[in-house]
Amino acid sequence: MTLSDTRPSTSGKLRMLWLDLTRTCQLACVHCLNDSGPDRAHGTMTRDDWKRALDEAAELGVGMVQFFGGEPTLHPDAAELVTHAVRVGLPTEIYTNLVHVPEQWWELFRLPDVKIATSYYSDDADEHARITRRPTHARTRANIIKAIDLGIPLRVGIVKVLDGQRIEQARAELEALGVARIDVDHVRPYGRGGHGGSYDPSGLCAGCGTGRAAVSPDGTVTPCVFASWMNVGDARADGLAEVVRGEKMAAARAAIRAAVSGGGPPDDDDDDDDDGYDPEPFRECRPGYPPSICPPRN
């Protein structure tokens, strides 16, 4: 382990911040990384707490915020929070299952600097339902088509969950529908995807906590949405800037790099927001926002 692995960041700059608004979701996907579902709650972060986090993100110069869950559009304050993010100048992505989209949300999706992302599993409705545990294939497909027709920037992630899953057929269908950004990934071993196993940082990409962080529904800050068990601070009590610059975040980065790469990257003397660390040689989480940002809904 090197000095650049363990020292706190002096700048606290973030390229990516996930806002994990809620664990409530219409679906109960077999691989959900945080065990979201219809019987889960929104958490204890209030509307003002989330707004404060967005204001701090803007002050930090965050390159992208992503509203995530669960299904973020089900949070009662989500529409106001997306509007606030745009107002303070934060490029925004909303990761939605596109199952039910009220007209208000179509208007939000069309705001400047707003993009959407969704997950899609198969061109076959029954296979899709085996993964989401809900017969929602037709709705998601129809809303993908509507988003394309409205010119809304959209990316779609296909996650391989089942043996023999119709991955290539799903990709071909999406391409035929006009989806320009399609990524394919495997299940990450967390939440229901981990089948009740222990949390192992070796399943993460080596870039977690490097220029990125996530805020959970209870205000806990983690290195990314996949590392939900790695509590590095409280967005409400500590403030986002102090958390991302702090020793706990530095220690989490070091633990993840050591687990993934067997010791982390070589030392360097750069004192930038990434501690001189380039995660490109290591496994990236995909699908995600480029160039090397982990996606949330795997």
pLDDT digits (tens, 9 = 90+) for 153-166: 999 999 999 999 99
| More confident site: 7 or 222 | 222
Lowest mean pLDDT among 61-70, 94-103, 163-172, 200-209: 200-209
- Say how far apart CA 143 and CA 154 lie, in whole Å: 11
The pLDDT, as a whole number, for residue 262 is 60
* Closest to 225 in 3D by CA, of 164, 170, 293: 293
In sequence order, the 6+-apart residues with CB closer than 8 A to the CB of 247 are 8
The pLDDT, as a whole number, for residue 136 is 95
Give 126-144 pLDDT, tens digit per residue. 999 999 999 999 999 999 9
Given a cut of 50, whether residue 268 has pLDDT beyond it is no
The band of 200, judged by pLDDT with boundaries at 50, 70 and 90, is confident
- Say how far apart CA 59 and CA 145 lie, in whole Å: 36
Q: Kindly state the percentage of the chain with pLDDT values over 70.
A: 82
- Say how far apart CA 129 and CA 171 lie, in whole Å: 17
Mean pLDDT of the chain: 85
- Say how far apart CA 72 and CA 94 lie, in whole Å: 8
The pLDDT, as a whole number, for residue 196 is 63
* Mean pLDDT score, 42-64: 96
Given a cut of 60, whether residue 106 has pLDDT beyond it is yes
Taking the CA of residue 155 as centre, how many other CA atoms within 13 Å lie in the half-sphere pointing to its CB?
A: 19
The band of 193, judged by pLDDT with boundaries at 50, 70 and 90, is confident
Q: Is 40 left (phi over 0), alpha (psi -120 to 50) or beta?
A: beta
pTM as predicted: 0.85
Count the Cβ atoms, other than its own, within 10 Å of residue 237. Answer: 9
- Say how far apart CA 122 and CA 239 lie, in whole Å: 41
Given a cut of 70, whether residue 266 has pLDDT beyond it is no
The band of 280, judged by pLDDT with boundaries at 50, 70 and 90, is very low
Q: Is 212 left (phi over 0), alpha (psi -120 to 50) or beta?
A: beta
The pLDDT, as a whole number, for residue 260 is 85
